[in-house]
Structures are given as structure tokens and as C-alpha cells.
Amino acid sequence: MNHIISRWLVLLVLASFLVSACSDPPRRGRGGENNSKPDVIIVTDVGHFDTALPDVNGPGDDVTNPPDVQTHPDTSADTSTDTVTDPDVDVVPDTCGNGFLNANEHCDPAIVAGVGACPTSCESDDSCSVARLVGSPGNCTARCVFEPITTCTDDDGCCTNDCDFSNDNDCSDSCGDGVLDGSEHCDWAIEDGPGACPTSCAPINACTGSKLVGSAANCTARCVADPVIVCRDNDGCCAPGCNANGDNDCSPICGNGVIEAGELCDGNCPTSCTANSGCTKHTLTGSAANCDAKCTTTTVTTCTNNDSCCPNSCTNANDNDCTCVPKTCPQLGVACGMTDNGCGTQIPCPTCPNGGTCVAGQCQAAVVNTVGNACFNPVSCDLGADAICASGDFKDGYCTKPCSTHGECSQGAHCGGFTRTVCMKTCTLDTNCRDGYKCFDADKDGRKECWPSGVGTKILGDSCTAVWQCGGGNSAACLTDFEGEWLWPGGYCSLLCDASTSCPAESSCYLIFANGTGVCVKNCTSQIQCRANYYCDPIDDSTSDVCIP
């Protein structure tokens, strides 16, 4: 007991010294709580994020000695409103006013109540601190900061570090006696265990910090919970009021009224879709319970009766929702005959011109004989895959094709020929034939055909490339190469002959074919009478020399 009395005597002497040294002596020690509310000072904020007065109510902040709080000497029960310029003058966050508490925001004016709402007044749960409202809702910086009371004042519920029971009746008269009294949070004389004064506080969990308030000297030191209220990425906490859009520590939650990743709707999900209209159908898919409800729009393309839709590809014939519009033959692509106008009525279409035939609504030209026509290749003859465009003696070409019977040739032609049979143009008069051709029985089968003839002006022995250049009529020939046995340089105008058919004067019949026929060759008496590359030589069949190769 004597040691306790001695300790108090020392404290009283020290207190007397401090009182005489200071006009406004500091106070220490705190006793019973006063239920009256501390001062509230409103500060008009004109900027953005606090750089001079950051929030001192975060995890681990010691409100007994805040390093960045402007000190106001008016710490008595002053209910007036001080205006203090708070240097929050930076750029307002783009997210301010979006209804979410984002990084660099203390509050958001779009949050009406609860966590994240901007305060309009402040109260302190510590009787030794004064709550002040700083910042501005318009900048998302409105918040409460707390300043410690530094004067020793009776009946304000606070016993500061420099006060004791001798100068502040709010201080405990038993602080430091090593016993935890009812008005004390701790006792500095208790070194360890229950009742010892804490010197630091550990976070409770990721979303709840812990801060040290009060002081050991006053037996008021204690740890109080300090919940996280700001949405910040990568802090391990999804604070109340935060969501996955503004805090990557949060997971999307269907039903929180916020559309987050993987959601199509949340709180505003459609429950019905616009009524169907014509060929446009609206369908509700997904569900509000899964936050994936949506309306999908499709266009009807199938022809279906009684669905109030007539797709572009449908008609009244396969969809009674379509109005029947009669169409003309050209619109239907029909060239001839009778056809349905699309509405069940048969309409007549034009007849085929030039004797053509109507087949399945399309005109097919009348068969025209092209045998004997001029040509430049087989395709131009229009006689099918076997078509031949004969050349050589055939002036301007001659359309034909192989045959074995007359029926294989078109009307106006017959099957005939020499070493092989081909279709030949039938005729009765020379006027039925083209230039370079005559109407005669060339193959001696009793039918006349238009065939190459000697209608030219060159005489026997002259050069030629085709028979029509030579004179001589239907017996004329232009000798070039007979089956590879003879070569007649530059061609040789001649006439066909045999034992019963003589050659003109000044020529002889040279029997060169196996069937006993031959060609007429020019007689000569000297080499000068023959062309170049021809010689005046005798032949077995003539008593005269002739010009031969």
C-alpha cells in the first residue's frame, strides 16, 4: 500500500510542475465515459482525392496521434460549423456517380444508403476524438476524419494523455494501480495477459482491419474493428456494396442488381418479348434466375399455312397467308403453250415461230438441214459429235457426217460417197448448190447431190489447190496427191478418164487407179512445154510424151 501512495505523490508533484509551466496544460489519463456526443465540424471540400487529410479511419490508424490531421484548437462542445479548405483539387474520378464505390473514392453520391453512401454528418465512438466531415459528395471524397481532444476539460467524457484526476474529473483515479477497474479498458501496470494495454492491433480478416484507439497512460488503449468499405482490386476483400465490375476480389453474383461478367441481365431481366409481327418472331430464352434471360428475333422462311407470314419464297399455292398475284408468261419463264398463272388459272402463251415445236413451255427450233452448208469447223455444222467440215476441193467448207443409211441424214440430205459414205446434200438443179458446186450424181448411185465441180478458168495442166479453180465441169479434178503414190507439185488441173472416156485434144489418159480409171495429162514435144518440176516423158498408155512430175 505504501508503494501505491508513493507513486501517486510522484505523479501529483509532476502534475503541479506541468500546470505551472503551461498556460494551457496538456491533459492525461481518462476515466468514465461521458455519453454526450463529441463535436462535429463540417468542412467544405472543393477538390478531389484527399492529399492533406487522408482518411484516418482505415485499418491500423491510431486516432490518438493521426499524422495528417489539421489541428483545431476549438475542441470544446462547439456546435458551430467551421469551413476549412481541404486540398482535394485533382481530377474527379471518371467513376464518380456510377453508383459503385471504386478505387480512389471515399463515397459515391449515387449510393443512397449503406456502405459507400456519402455522409452528411459525423459522430465519433471515441469520446477523446472529434469527428469532422471533410471532402465533397460531388467529388466522391466526403468522409469523416477524427481529431484527438488535447485539452483537459471536466465532464467532456475524455481524459487525454496529459491529464489526470487532479485536473480532469474524467480521468480515472485508479489508472496504474495494476487492477482493471470497471471504467478502464486496460491498466498500464499490468505487463502481460488480460488487462494489459495493447501497443498494436492485427487485422481480423481481409475485410475487417483493427485500429488502436485510446492510450495506455489513460488506461483507455484498446483495439476496435475497422471494416473495409472501399472497393479495391487485389486486396483480398470484396467489401459490402462492391461487385465484380469494380473489384476483382468479388465474384459475379446473379441477383445483386449489377450486370457482371457472364450475365446478360440482373434485376432488369425481361419476362416477356415484343409480340410477334408478320414474319418476325420474338422468343424469350434463358431465365432471370440465371441472369441470362434475353429476347431473340428470328425471321420465318418456311411456307406454312395460317401463321400470318408469307415469306418471299412462298406463293398462295403453298402458303395460304400469301395473296395470289397473277403472273404473265414472261414472268413465269414460259415461252409457249398453256400454263398456270400462279393462281390456278390456265393462260395461253405465244406459239413458236418458224414452225418451231413447244416442249415443256419452251420453243425448240424446227429441224434445219445443214448438210452441204459452208463451215469453218465441225461445231459450226450443228450436226452433233460426228460432224465433219470437209475442206480441200470443198469451197468454203462442206458440212457432213458419216452415215450408213439415209435415215441417219437430216431431211434434204442422203447417204452416199466413195471410199466411205457420208451425208450429201440432195439437189435437183445447179441453182440448189453454192458457188463451186454443181448438182450431179457424183458417186453414181442414182441420186444427185451438190458436189465440188470444175467451174473455174484454169486449163488442163495448170496449177491448182482445189477442183473448183479448174475448168472441165463435173469431170474436172485438181491432182495433188493420190493416196500417197503420186505428188503433183503445185497441183495439176485435169479430167477423169477411163477406157471409154477420151481426153480432150492435146492430152492423153493416164490410167493410174487400180479400178481402171485415170486422169488426163497434157501432151508435150519438149521440156519447155511443161511447168517447173514437171518433165516431158513418155508413158505406157500414150503414144505421145506428156508433162508429168
Establish how many alpha carbons lie within 13 A of residue 227's alpha carbon, considering only the half-sphere containing its beta carbon. 7
Residue 33: per-residue pLDDT: 39
- CB-count exposure of residue 155 (10 Å: 0-12, 13-18, 19+): exposed
Residue 42: per-residue pLDDT: 31
Sequence-ordered list of residues with C-beta below 8 angstroms from that of 14, at least 6 positions apart, any chain: none
Nearest to 229 by CA among 18, 33, 459, 58: 58
Nearest to 129 by CA among 190, 38, 203: 38
Q: How far is CA 420 from CA 112, 386, 390, 403, in A?
A: 109, 14, 13, 9
Cell of 503: 481426153
CB of 494 closer than 8 Å to CB of 517: no
Nearest to 536 by CA among 546, 544, 528: 546
DSSP state of 114: S
The phi and psi torsions of 2 (rounded to 5 degrees) equal -65, -35
Sequence-ordered list of residues with C-beta below 8 angstroms from that of 499, at least 6 positions apart, any chain: 511, 516
Residue type, 84: V
- CB-count exposure of residue 186 (10 Å: 0-12, 13-18, 19+): buried
CB of 486 closer than 8 Å to CB of 512: yes
Residue 368: per-residue pLDDT: 64
Residue 511: per-residue pLDDT: 86
CA angle 218, 222, 226 (to 5 degrees): 140
Three-state DSSP class for residue 431: helix
Question: What is the rounded distance in angstroms from the CA atom of residue 126 to the CA atom of residue 530?
Answer: 146
Question: What is the rounded distance in angstroms from the CA atom of residue 408 to the CA atom of residue 386?
Answer: 11
Question: What is the rounded distance in angstroms from the CA atom of residue 145 to the CA atom of residue 66?
Answer: 10
The phi and psi torsions of 443 (rounded to 5 degrees) equal -100, 5
Question: What is the rounded distance in angstroms from the CA atom of residue 442 to the CA atom of residue 132?
Answer: 131
- pLDDT by residue for the chain (549 residues), tens only, comes to 333 333 333 333 333 333 333 333 333 333 333 333 333 333 333 333 332 233 333 333 333 333 333 333 333 334 333 433 344 546 788 889 988 777 778 888 998 887 788 999 998 877 788 889 999 999 999 998 888 888 888 888 788 777 877 888 878 778 888 888 877 899 999 999 999 999 999 999 999 989 888 888 888 889 999 888 888 899 999 988 788 988 899 999 998 888 999 999 998 899 999 887 789 889 999 999 999 999 999 999 899 999 889 998 888 888 888 888 888 999 999 999 999 988 888 999 998 886 678 889 898 766 566 899 999 899 888 888 999 999 999 999 999 999 999 989 988 899 998 878 999 999 999 999 999 999 999 999 999 999 999 999 999 999 999 999 999 999 999 998 765 566 889 999 999 998 888 899 999 998 888 788 889 999 999 999 999 999 999 988 778 899 998
Cell of 291: 441472369
Sheet holding 129-134: strands in order across? 40-42, 129-134, 143-148
Residue 324: per-residue pLDDT: 84
β-strands 129-134, 40-42 pairing:
parallel
Helices (H), 160-233: none
Q: How many CB atoms lie within 10 A of CB 233?
A: 11
String of DSSP letters for 154-182:
TTSS---TT--TTT-TTS-SSTTSSS--T
DSSP state of 17: H
Question: What is the rounded distance in angstroms from the CA atom of residue 547 to the CA atom of residue 549?
Answer: 7
Nearest to 70 by CA among 51, 87, 53: 53
Q: How far is CA 102 from CA 70, 134, 231, 524, in A?
A: 26, 19, 5, 125
Question: What is the rounded distance in angstroms from the CA atom of residue 100 to the CA atom of residue 107?
Answer: 8
The β-bridge partners of 143 are: 134
The β-bridge partners of 518 are: 497, 511
Q: How many CB atoms lie within 10 A of CB 212?
A: 21
Sequence-ordered list of residues with C-beta below 8 angstroms from that of 166, at least 6 positions apart, any chain: 12, 15
How many residues belong to the chain?
Answer: 549
Sequence-ordered list of residues with C-beta below 8 angstroms from that of 442, at least 6 positions apart, any chain: 416, 424, 449, 451, 474
Cell of 24: 494551457
The phi and psi torsions of 548 (rounded to 5 degrees) equal -135, 160
CB of 174 closer than 8 Å to CB of 181: yes
Sequence-ordered list of residues with C-beta below 8 angstroms from that of 77, at least 6 positions apart, any chain: 36, 39, 156
Question: What is the rounded distance in angstroms from the CA atom of residue 383 to the CA atom of residue 390?
Answer: 13
